[in-house]
Amino acid sequence: MDKNNSTQKNNPTELFGVFGNPVAHSLSPVMHNQAFACTGYNGVYLPFHVEKIEPAVMAIRTLGIRGISVTLPHKVGVMKYLDRLDPLAERIKAVNTIVNADGILIGCNTDCFGAVSALVQHTDIKGKDIAIIGAGGAARAIGWGIVDAGGKVTVVNRSAEKGEQLARDLSAGFVPLDKADELEADILVNTTPVGMHPGIDDMPVSKRIFRRGMLVMDIVYTPLKTEFLKQARAAGSRTIDGLTMFVLQGARQFELWTGLEAPVDVMREAVLEQLNSPNRIYYQEYSY
């Protein structure tokens, strides 16, 4: 163990956690506690079942909790109880991460970082035509990240009202879901829960949309190989599973909280082990 890790071990244990409802089967504790163990950071990460977000935020202040992940249904409601929002979280209008900076609670959004980081591992986003399926919280976060990276976004959604509103916010195009097959996007991202366990045979769009060379990402990771990704690969598209975004957004949280480099591979393996467990109870932290 190096000197930095030894110093961390001698410090008081720092408390972290996730606020949500439901939250009992969250994979974030497994991921973050393994990261703490790997880096020698003296921290512990716990799930907190939270029905009312205001007293939960008061508990962060009272107990001196260093950092919190925020999942459904609190990503929007938590914002008014924080001291500051980072510029991206303010634009997205959703917070999935709280950083306690010496008593100042700062709201951040790492969903955006996780999605964009997953994409840029495979391609340059700038100038690419990118279709986003869905118009909920995840679509908004990913859309802003893509716009900031120079990508050209088209929102695809069943509800024209919601889809057109998000498209206006992003200065993007809009295509109704029943016209999705006509798109010729370079990158296609599913941000809806369609295909998530138990509806594992469902797809958000027809397989006719896929073509060879297209890059296709699904943010669903239960199951890891969704029907959406299976059909995309069969058509010759390259694919990115939803676990990649989940781990990368978690890695960004870890770095914001600790100032240390996140052990991304270790975090991914910890989550994979849980996903592959025969006793796994399905629950995915999901923003929609």
Where in the chain are all domains bearing CATH 3.40.50.720? Answer: 113-240
Here the tokens at position 62 are: 């009272």
The predicted-structure confidence for 205-236, as pLDDT tens digits, reads as follows 999 999 999 999 999 999 999 999 999 999 99
Q: Are strands 67-70 and 187-190 parallel, antiparallel or unpaired?
A: unpaired
Coil/strand/helix, residue 237: coil
Percent over 70 (pLDDT), the chain: 94
User: What sign does the CA torsion over 161, 166, 172, 175 have?
Assistant: negative
CB 115 within 8 A of CB 139: no
Confidence check: pLDDT of 9 > 70: no
Q: Which is the catalytic residue, given 3, 75, 126, 230?
A: 75
> What pLDDT does residue 24 have?
86
**16 half-sphere exposure, CB direction, 13 A CA radius:** 27
In whole angstroms, what is the distance from residue 166 CA to residue 134 CA? 10
Say what the pTM is: 0.91
CB atoms within 10 A of CB 129: 15
To the query of whether residue 75 is one of the catalytic residues in this protein, the response is yes
> What pLDDT does residue 7 have?
46
Confidence check: pLDDT of 3 > 50: no
Nearest to 135 by CA among 170, 178, 89: 170
Amino acid, res. 83: D
- List the single range of 9-18, 43-52, 76-85, 273-282 with lowest mean pLDDT: 273-282
| Helix (H) or strand (E) segment spanning residue 85 | strand 84-85
Average pLDDT over residues 246-269: 98
The predicted-structure confidence for 133-186, as pLDDT tens digits, reads as follows 999 989 999 999 999 999 999 999 999 999 999 999 999 999 999 999 999 999
In whole angstroms, what is the distance from residue 14 CA to residue 66 CA? 6
pLDDT band at 25 (very low <50, low <70, confident <90, very high): confident
Here the tokens at position 58 are: 């008061």
CATH class of the domain at 3-109+244-275: alpha beta
| Helix (H) or strand (E) segment spanning residue 7 | helix 3-10
Where in the chain are all domains bearing CATH 3.40.50.10860? Answer: 3-109+244-275
> What pLDDT does residue 277 have?
84
- Mean pLDDT (the chain) is 93
> What pLDDT does residue 285 have?
72
Nearest to 31 by CA among 282, 252, 211, 288: 252
Q: How far from 232 is each of 48, 136, 195, 208, 225, CA to CA, in Å?
A: 37, 23, 13, 9, 11
The predicted-structure confidence for 92-111, as pLDDT tens digits, reads as follows 999 999 999 999 999 999 99
Q: Are strands 67-70 and 84-85 parallel, antiparallel or unpaired?
A: unpaired
In whole angstroms, what is the distance from residue 165 CA to residue 120 CA? 27
CATH number for the domain whose boundaries are 113-240? 3.40.50.720
List, as one string, the DSSP characters of 112-161.
HHHHHHHHHTTS--TT-EEEEE--SHHHHHHHHHHHHTT-EEEEEES-HH
Average pLDDT over residues 176-198: 94
